[in-house]
Structure 1
Amino acid sequence: MNLLTLNTHSWLEENPLEKLKQMAAQIIKEDYALIALQEVNQRIDSLPAISTHNFHPTENQLPIHEDNFAHLLVQQLNELGHSYHWCWAYNHIGYSTYHEGVALLSKQPLQPKTVIVSEETDPLDYRTRVLLIGETKIAEKPITAVCCHYSWWLETGGFNHEWQQTELALKKCTTPLVLMGDFNNPASATKTGYDLVLSSPLKLQDSFLVANEKIGEHTVEKAIDGWGENQEKLRIDYIFTSQELTISSYQVTFDGKQTPIISDHFGVAVTII
């Protein structure tokens, strides 16, 4: 089964609707069973959506607006004959203009919930971070899927605190874990968030390290939002899983090679067997 994660940078890219169509085409081509998306935005002042196909709300759900990026993506996929269940959680206000959040799309129904993992809880503060956790299935096997968009290591009350809260939220899960998203902590750094994840009592594996086949590695290759001084190739977008899952392949996607660039991040796709 194929999985995808991407920080979409939605509505902040040039020609965003064209890039949404390109994303939908790739989703259909690869038939992803599970998708995690970050920076899934909707304008604060846009109208509520009239209907939301296959949407599974969380407790205290912020209303979905008609321009919600995940909502439009699911609509596009449905019009092309591919049905996805989905959920969306609100993190904070982005660029003074958007409700910024995270989304999960799944071929199977989802039972979602949200957990605030940041010290900050005010959506007016960009440091407010929410995990979107969805109980679902891949290949008829129950899993716990988690869409993540964490803070930086050096941020006050940042990744260290958020990861501790993540462990508390997930430690009682009885199904295999799949954590997907923008962790904002490079694999190349030492004694930072990446080490916390690999040494976690959640016993996670980095899909890049264990995959039998690897195509590409880094997901950021220049200065981007949040990494304005960056001049290095970084791997900050990940798919971590429970060790009982077997990863046959890892591929960087939406990188301008076999697939178009549609965001300031590249995506990560893995195959679980």
Structure 2
Amino acid sequence: MKILTLNTHSWLEEKPLEKLEQLAATIVERDYDLIALQEVNQLMTADKVQTDAYFHAEALEGLSVLSDNFGLLLAEKLKSYGKNYHWCWLPVHVGYDRYHEGLALFSKEPIDPTACLVSQQSDFMNYRTRRILFGKTQLDGKDVVVVSCHYSWWSEDEAEGFLIEWQRTLAHLSNYELPVILLGDFNNPAGIDDQGHSHVLQRFKDSYLHAEEIDGEHTVIKEIDGWSGNDQKLRIDFVFTSEDIAAKRYEVIFDGRKTPIISDHFGIEAELYHVLES
């Protein structure tokens, strides 16, 4: 099974429609089974639209998909290439005072999505509000739960920030007895002890550390939104899996090497497989 995760930075990039086209073309060329996207935005003032049977609306949290929703336009672009993906979108909070910012999952198989509020803050107008998108789907003929994640930064205050959001994610995952794939922007760099990455490793495998083939590493290499003043190469976007899923290949993409840069984050492509039960 071939997966992609990307923080799209949608509508905040220069030439966003050109980058949307580049994303769609890469998805078609590389033929992903599953795609997790973060910062999937729509203008608050855009018009409501009808969605088709490939959209799964259970996670909408009372909002509507609007005409410039980045996920909607991507789904339509993929359809124009003859690729029909089931997809869902979860609005998380208002970003930059003008966007409904959210998370999306795309799958070749139908998706049963659920949403979980993981932050202490719950006000949709507050950018600190964090919700996480869970989707039950099938990969290689087996049920899995896939998660599109966009977490807060590490905080020493245990009442806010990544740690409490992660604990609430684990509580929600306890509702499933399935293999798990966690994808997205964790805002916690790899390699820092006793912070976000090390907490996740207590329960899940980092595909970068276990893949049989690895091509690339860092997903952020400069100052970006949320990382003001950063001058280091960071690995803050991840593919984590439960023990029953392994990684054959791991590649950083949309980094200007084989594929164009289309966001302030690079993406990750991974080829995963179910570990056979003994």
Q: Counterpart of 1:4 in structure 2: which amino acid?
A: L
**1:99 alignment partner in structure 2:** 100
How far apart, CA to CA, are the structure 2 residues paired with 1:42 and 1:179?
24
Q: How much does 1:155 deviate?
A: 7.5
Partner of 1:172: 175
The separation in 1 between residues aligned to 2:231 and 2:71, in whole angstroms, is: 31
Cα gap change, 1:85/1:155 in structure 2, threshold over 3 Å: closer, same or farther? Answer: farther
Contact 2:103 2:148 in 1 (8 A): yes
Structure 1 residue 54, shift from structure 2 partner = 0.7
CA distance in 2, matches of 1:64, 1:18: 22
Alignment of 1:1-273 (within 5 A): 1-52=1-52, 54-58=54-58, 60-154=61-155, 157-199=160-202, 203-273=203-273
Structure 1: gaps of 5 or more residues: none
CA contact (8 A) 1:62 1:89 kept: no
Deviating 4+ runs (over 2 angstroms): 50-53
C-alpha distance in structure 2 between counterparts of 1:143 and 1:179, whole Å: 11
Q: Contact 1:53–1:74 (CA<8 Å) still a contact in 2?
A: no
Is the CA contact 1:118–1:130 (under 8 Å) kept in the aligned structure 2? yes
Asked if structure 2 preserves the Cα contact closer than 8 Å seen for 1:85 and 1:110, the reply is yes
Contact 1:4-1:267 within 8 A present in 2 as well: yes
Instruction: Read off the aligned partner of 1:100 and give its amino acid letter.
Output: E
Mark the CA change 1:269 to 1:155 in structure 2 (over 3 Å): closer, same or farther: farther
Q: What runs of 5+ residues in structure 2 fail to find an aligned partner?
A: 274-278
In 1, the alpha carbon distance for the partners of 2:268 and 2:31 equals 14
1:200-235 Cα shifts (integer Å, max 9, x gaps) = xxx310010010000000000000000011100000
Residue aligned with 2:109, SS: coil
CA distance in 2, matches of 1:61, 1:173: 24
Letter in 2 for 1:3: I
Identity of aligned residues (%): 50
**C-alpha distance in structure 2 between counterparts of 1:125 and 1:262, whole Å:** 27
TM-score calculated relative to the size of structure 2: 0.95
Q: Report how many residues are paired.
A: 270
The one-letter amino acid of 2:142's match is K
Is the 2:55–2:86 Cα contact (8 Å) retained in structure 1?
yes
SS at match of 1:143: strand
In 2, Cα distance between the equivalents of 1:14 and 1:152?
26
Q: C-alpha separation between the residues in 2 aligned to 1:222 and 1:236? A: 12
Distance 1:23 1:135, change over 3 A: same
**Aligned with 1:246: secondary structure?**
strand
